[in-house]
Amino acid sequence: MLRAEGVTLGYGGTPVVHDVTLDITEGGVGLIGESGSGKTTLARAFLGLLTPMSGNIWYGDQTLKKADQRRFRKDVQPVFQAEALDPRMRIGGSVAEGLSRGERHRVPELLRQVGLAPELAERRPHQLSGGQRQRVVIARALAVGPRLLILDEPTSALDVTVQARILDLLASLDTERLLITHNLAVVGRLCRTSHVLFAGRVVEAGPTAELLDRPAHPYTLALRDAVPKLGGPPPVARGRTEARPAETGCPFRLRCPLAAAACERAPALREVAGRQVACHRAEDVLGG
């Protein structure tokens, strides 16, 4: 439904996401990386909020630029953190934002769909818990009947039990999803395939279960081992985590415990064990 093809993105002429190709396919897609990896920038491009410096975002068989914007805004809805709710608006008003006057009677049904009592429509955001507010944000996105939700860290501000309930809710919805997160445990539940980003580049992509079971890139391995449980703080990779991405060769080489002379040459994505990986030593990582 949405596809990034050779997309480079940046701000003020400086690229921060490099040559990414990514298909949003059935079963959910995860976009994983630590802060600064470029995942939110890519999400903004998928929402049409940022124009690629090169490459294209495709929506069906048209580029996003040429697509029917009304249809696109109905089909593709963002779900950000609950803090995005207007504190002055009543909950019912927030949920109804994308509805016409004649459709506002659907607010109670939408609140019920996300597990909230319809009576909460009269309250304001500060009268709700964090988990309830996140449900309101999801209800607001669902109101227009989207085909795809773009979820940016939808549960990271919530405590563990509430996170688990929100994930159950998301898993039960009949809507495709692109999930942006630092947390591999979250993608494990919601996404059939995943892309791991480091310094704006895809370093590993493939079936989520494979990436979790047998990572082939040292960065995926480090992320998996850093915080496997829900509710933890954002992970950073092991090793010299203070090191910046290298400007030449493999961007991960200043952190990588396996870095070798060959890594002064930038690795291209290649097929290894059923996934794409950009590492000269992927076979060594897989071999343990």
Q: What token pair was written down for 68?
A: 């029917």
User: Is 267 a residue that touches ligand SF4 (CB under 6 A)?
Assistant: yes
DSSP E strand stretches across the chain: 2-11, 14-24, 29-32, 54-59, 62-63, 76-79, 148-152, 176-181, 193-198, 201-207, 270-272, 275-277
**Which one, 110 or 250, has the nearer CB to ligand SF4?**
250
**Per-residue 3-state assignment (H helix, E strand, C coil) for 82-125:** HHHCCCCCCHHHHHHHHCCHHHHHHHHHHHHHCCCCHHHHHCCH
Q: Mask of contacts with ligand SF4, 212-241, x by CB under 6 A?
A: ------x-----------------------
Task: Lay out the site mask for ligand SF4 across 113-142 (x = CB under 6 A, - = otherwise).
Answer: ------------------------------
Angle value at C-alpha 87, between 86 and 90, nearest 5 degrees: 85
Is 33 within 8 Å of 224 (Cβ atoms)?
A: no
Q: Tell me the window of 13-21, 55-63, 70-78, 247-255 that interacts with ligand SF4 (CB under 6 A).
A: 247-255
How many residues sit in the footprint of ligand SF4 (CB under 6 A)? Answer: 12
User: In one letter, which amino acid is 184?
Assistant: L
Rule CB under 6 A: is residue 263 a binding residue for ligand SF4? yes
Does 250 help bind ligand SF4 (rule: CB under 6 A)?
yes
Q: Looking at 24-32, 38-46, 229-237, 250-258, which segment touches ligand SF4 (CB under 6 A)?
A: 250-258
Stretch binding ligand SF4 (CB under 6 A), from 17-25, 98-106, 177-185, 257-265: 257-265
Task: In angstroms, give the least distance from the CB of 236 to ligand SF4.
Answer: 15
Stretch that binds ligand SF4, among 70-78, 152-160, 207-215, 275-283 (CB under 6 A): 275-283
**φ and ψ of 101, to 5 deg:** -55, -45
Query: Any bridge partners for residue 181, and if so which?
Result: 32
Annotate 201-231 with three-state secondary structure: EEEEEEEHHHHHHCCCCHHHHHHHHHCCCCC
Interaction of residue 259 with ligand SF4, rule CB under 6 A: yes
The single residue among 46, 59, 80, 252 that binds ligand SF4, judged by CB under 6 A, is 252
CA distances from 255 to 84, 97, 145, 250, 258 (A): 35, 46, 44, 10, 9
* Subset of residues 161 to 220 that bind ligand SF4, contact rule: CB under 6 A: 218
In the complex, least distance from residue 261 CB atom to ligand SF4, rounded to whole angstroms:
10
Instruction: By CB under 6 A, tell whether 281 contacts ligand SF4.
Output: yes
The Cα 170–Cα 48 span in angstroms is: 23
| Footprint on this chain of ligand SF4 (rule: CB under 6 A) | 218, 250, 252-253, 256, 258-259, 263, 267, 279-281
